[in-house]
Amino acid sequence: MKKKIYVTRQLPESVLSKLRDQFEVDMWTKEDQPIPKDILLEKVKGVHGLLTMLTEQIDSEVFGKAKNLEVVANLAVGYDNIDLEAAKKYDVTVTNTPEVLNETTADLTFALLLATARRIPEGVDYIKENKWETWSPLLLAGSDVHHKTIGIVGMGNIGEAVAKRATGFEMNILYYNRSRKEKAEDRLGAKYVSFDYLLNESDFVVCMTPLTDETKGMFDAEAFSKMKNSAIFINTSRGGVVNEDDLYESLKTKDIHAAGLDVFRDEPIHRNHPLLELDNVMALPHIGSSSVETRIKMMELAVDNIERVLKGEKPKTPVK
Ligand code: DGY
């Protein structure tokens, strides 16, 4: 009998065909919406492999129902939506999609930084709303990026890819990380500093750290109060790393200058969320790794991981 796989969102057949040859594959296909929890709990019964999105909470309830489960392949580098303790308890391998999205996510991070600094969305709206009457000396004047100081919090591979882009803008690069990254220091001229120093000195504070118990809410009122009034805060990692009420207050009172946000505590962010009322917030719908090429690579990697585990082999990218 073929082993069973459940995929929690519609993915292209070109990617799934590899699995269909060897396994029985079922998929949630409804209107590109997350699968409701009660349906997921039904679907996982008897399933050996699960290909999940970050929109699903894979917790002990799910593991408890999925008695045959051998592998959960998450279509993301982040895996804060998966209860790793429970996975361990139920002896399920968890995999993610690191590396293949590094450059694409760094591109988006830098695009968001540039767009926020140079007020690009405001400029686009200005024209579309027919407001442009004349050239004017300080029309939509933003902040320079070149030769400024960028502070990267979380110097993993994506952080390094962001730093690499910053070198092209001849920026002064500071970073804060759990451990020192000497190679990044040698290659990119990045300087390892304390969190406080980074907050005090950076013109752009870029959050690239994963969401863990340790990092949850680390950008809070105290952190924002240490930043320059001219600082621009960028987050493309996870919304939970930020206390959004505190960020709102800091932006509203101009304690910091602006924020570019691709991620939020609750996604999708509610249209009435106070952050969206602020002119100095530029918000995107969690599209850091969203280029067609990279999303396909992520899918292929997730598929490959499932295939390997179900055939008794080691997955390429297990979560340790
Ligand atoms: C990830 O891979 O964790 C990203 O946030 C998804 O785009």
Domain count, the chain: 2
Closest CA to 318 of 9, 22, 79: 79
- Structural domain contains residue 316: no
The reply to whether ligand 1 has any atom less than 6 angstroms from the CB of 206 is no
Residues noted as catalytic = 238, 267, 286
Same domain for 229 and 149, yes or no, is: yes
- Based on the fold, state whether residues 39 and 121 are members of the same structural domain: no
Does some domain include residue 317? Answer: no
Residues 89 and 25 in one domain: yes
**Closest to 267 in 3D by CA, of 282, 285, 283:** 285
pLDDT for 246 equals: 98
Residue 82, SS3 per DSSP: strand
Domain that holds residue 252: 102-283
Residue 59 included in any domain: yes
Sheet containing 172-176: which strands, arranged edge to edge? 191-192, 172-176, 149-153, 204-207, 232-235, 258-261, 281-283
Cα distance between residue 236 and residue 288, in whole Å? 6
Q: Is 200 a domain residue?
A: yes
Same domain, 25 and 127: no
Question: Is 319 contained in some domain?
Answer: no
Q: Are residues 76 and 125 in the same domain?
A: no
Question: What is residue 61's predicted lDDT score, i.e. its pLDDT?
Answer: 98
Residue 262's pLDDT is what? 98
Q: Do residues 128 and 14 both lie within one domain?
A: no
Per-residue pLDDT, 256: 98
Single pTM value for the model: 0.96
Q: What is the pLDDT of residues 221-237, one digit of tens each?
A: 999 999 999 999 999 99
In tens, the pLDDT along 72-101 reads: 999 999 999 999 999 999 999 999 999 999
Query: Same domain, yes or no, for 240 and 296?
Result: no
pLDDT value at position 32?
85
On whether both 172 and 267 belong to a single domain, the answer is: yes
Residue at 84 is within a domain: yes
In this prediction, the residues of the chain whose per-residue pLDDT falls under 70 are none
Does ligand 1 lie within 6 Å of residue 77's CB atom? yes
- What pLDDT is stored for residue 154 in this prediction? 98
Let me know if residue 318 belongs to a domain: no
Structure letter (DSSP) for residue 101: T
Residue 20 host element (H or E): helix 13-20
Same domain, 239 and 275: yes
Task: Measure the CA–CA gap between 247 and 276, rounded to whole angstroms.
Answer: 12
Contact call for residues 241 and 207 (beta carbons, < 8 A) = yes
pLDDT tens by residue, 244-278: 999 999 999 999 999 999 999 999 999 999 999 99
171 and 202 both lie in a single domain: yes
Distance 95 CA to ligand 1 centre (A): 13
The predicted structure's pLDDT at residue 203: 99
pLDDT value of residue 31: 80
Query: Which of 52, 53, 54 should be mutated for ligand 1, with most atoms under 8 A from CB?
Result: 54
Pairing relationship of beta strands 71-74 and 49-52 according to DSSP bridges? parallel
Shared domain for 86 and 149, answered yes or no, is no
CATH assignment at residue 218: 3.40.50.720
> Is the distance from the beta carbon of residue 240 to the nearest atom of ligand 1 less than 6 Å?
no
121 and 214 housed in the same domain: yes
**In the numeric block, which tokens belong to residue 111?**
């695009």
29 within some domain: yes
